[in-house]
Every structure is written in C-alpha cells, then in structure tokens.
C-alpha cells in the first residue's frame, strides 16, 4: 500500500525541480456552486485561510442572498464570480448538461446573466470580479463575444485555454471530484499525477496558471483531505505562488 509520502513524492520532486531552475509555478483556486453559508463552506473558508490561499467562489445569483454576503464580508482572501443564473439544465436528455447553451434565444440567456451580475454586484460589491463561470463549464460560443457588453471581461471554464478567444480566459485544469463514479473525491495518487502533469507542461512556458477546481457542497472526506494536503504541500514551497483571480486577469 502506498503511504502519503509515496503519493506526494512526485509533486515534491517536481516542485523542487522548479525551485532549482529558479522558476515559480502559479496556481489559483476556484470553487463552484456557492449559495449560502453551510458547514461545508465554513470548512472551505478555514482550509484556505489557514494556508493563506486566495479563493474564488462561483456563486449562483438566483439562489444566493444577504446571508452569504454577510458571511464573506470578513474574509479578505475570497473573491466572487458569476456562476450562470440558476444552474438549470436546458439541454436535452441525450446531451451534456448546459444552462448557457444554444437551447434558448441568446437575448434570454444574456438577460439572465445581466440580471445575475447585477444581483452579485449589489450583494458583494468590490469583492465581485468581472468573471463568468458557466455551469458545467459549458457555454454557447456565440455568446462569448457579447459578454464584455454585460461587464463580464473574463471567462473561466475547464481545460487548456483555447487560442483566439474574444475575451480573457482563466481556466481550471484539475477537478478533485469524481463525477462519473462514486461522486466523491478522486484518488489522491491520481490527482497528484494530474497536478504534476500540469506543472511539467508549464516548465518551459508557464503563461497559463494552473487552476484547481473544487465543489465544497459535495466534498467527502477524500476530497477534503486532498485539498488540505495540496494546500499544505504547495503554499509553503518556494516554487509555488497561489494567486487571486483578480491578480491573474
């Protein structure tokens, strides 16, 4: 059986390689589906604050309110991004889930985003960044060029940022959840391998920061343990800089 040292050794070795080369790897953390204060949110706020790691919460505007705004008021390490409108799937039963797809008229979808952004501006003020996080990380490509007119200057989805985007992209690359199996946290050795893969891909060109994606409302013990261990391993390492989304865009 692999020990914790065995599991995390590849990450330590890769970060030491970065340090020896005088390089610094940039990471950022995005957590999706925030609505209101919950015990899971408290755990997320604590683990990130303890590690001094900036956090971007993708908040669902149709379901949030003053309670979340009040709870985040004294959390200077937290920023808020727009997470669609109501996280409602409008795709067909044989399609991948989408709220911001081509299933409805563009003016309806954009109107919801405009309303949602206005709600978050009222609730969170300067804590809100001009970023759209589409539910399920999917959006109709025809809508992207129209986002700046709503005040949304950055788009955050999943995977390597594609060239030629009409607006800035700040993507995530490692999702700690297993959505297709037990719907819990993925095995730690698998996640460590993914993080190391992202680091190696950036050793000679780190133009795109590494985005870690979490979903606090559905974390199990495996997910929480990985996140805490990842932040502990990286936040103290001289070859790592955890960045806020605002500083990256």
CB within 8 Å of 30: residues ≥ 6 apart:
56, 58, 81, 133, 156, 172, 211, 212, 213, 214, 245
The model's pLDDT over 54-73, given as tens digits with 9 standing for 90+, comes to 999 999 999 999 999 999 99
Euclidean distance between CA atoms 192 and 214, whole angstroms = 15
* pLDDT (mean) for 104-123: 97
Mean pLDDT value across residues 158-183: 91
Separation between Cα atoms, residue 26 and residue 18, nearest integer Å = 11
Give pLDDT, residue 3: 81
**DSSP bridge pairs for 78:** 55
Position 121 scores a pLDDT of 98
CATH architecture of 4-248: Alpha-Beta Barrel (3.20)
Name the token pair of 68. 């979340």
Q: Nearest 10 degrees: CA dihedral of 126, 127, 128, 131?
A: 120
Please state the rounded mean pLDDT for residues 133-144. 96
Helices (H), the chain: 4-20, 39-50, 66-72, 106-124, 141-144, 188-202, 221-235, 245-248
* Residue 35 main-chain phi, psi, to 5 deg: -135, -50
Give per-residue pLDDT as tens, 141-154. Answer: 999 999 999 999 99
Tokens for 96, please give them: 């991948």
DSSP string, 91-152: S-TTS---SBSTTS-HHHHHHHHHHHHHHHHHHHGGGEEEEE--GGG-B-HHHHTTSGGGT-
d(CA 124, CA 171): 22
- Residue pair 104/89 in contact (Cβ under 8 Å)? The answer is no
pLDDT band at 162 (very low <50, low <70, confident <90, very high): confident
Query: What pLDDT, on the 0 to 100 scale, is given for residue 1?
Result: 64
């Amino acid at each position: 059986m692999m020990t914790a040292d065995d599991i995390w050794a590849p990450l330590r070795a890769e970060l030491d390689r970065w340090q020896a080369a005088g390089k610094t790897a940039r990471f950022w953390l995005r957590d999706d589906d925030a609505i209101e204060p919950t015990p899971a949110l408290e755990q997320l706020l604590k683990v990130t604050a303890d590690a001094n790691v900036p956090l971007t919460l993708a908040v669902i505007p149709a379901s949030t309110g003053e309670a979340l705004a009040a709870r985040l008021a004294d959390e200077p390490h937290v920023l808020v991004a727009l997470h669609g409108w109501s996280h409602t799937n409008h795709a067909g039963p044989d399609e991948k889930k989408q709220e911001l797809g081509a299933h409805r008229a563009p003016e309806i979808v954009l109107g919801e985003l405009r309303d949602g952004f206005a709600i978050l501006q009222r609730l969170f003020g300067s804590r809100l960044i001009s970023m759209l996080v589409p539910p399920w990380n999917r959006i109709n490509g025809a809508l992207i060029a129209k986002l700046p007119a709503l005040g949304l200057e950055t788009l955050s989805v999943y995977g390597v940022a594609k060239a030629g985007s009409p607006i800035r992209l700040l993507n995530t690359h490692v999702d700690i959840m297993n959505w297709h199996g037990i719907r819990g946290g993925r095995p730690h050795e698998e996640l460590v391998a993914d993080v190391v893969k992202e680091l190696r891909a950036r050793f000679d060109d780190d133009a795109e920061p590494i985005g870690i994606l979490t979903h606090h409302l559905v974390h199990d013990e495996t997910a929480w343990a990985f996140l805490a261990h990842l932040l502990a391993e990286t936040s103290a390492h001289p070859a790592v800089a955890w960045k806020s989304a605002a500083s990256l865009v």
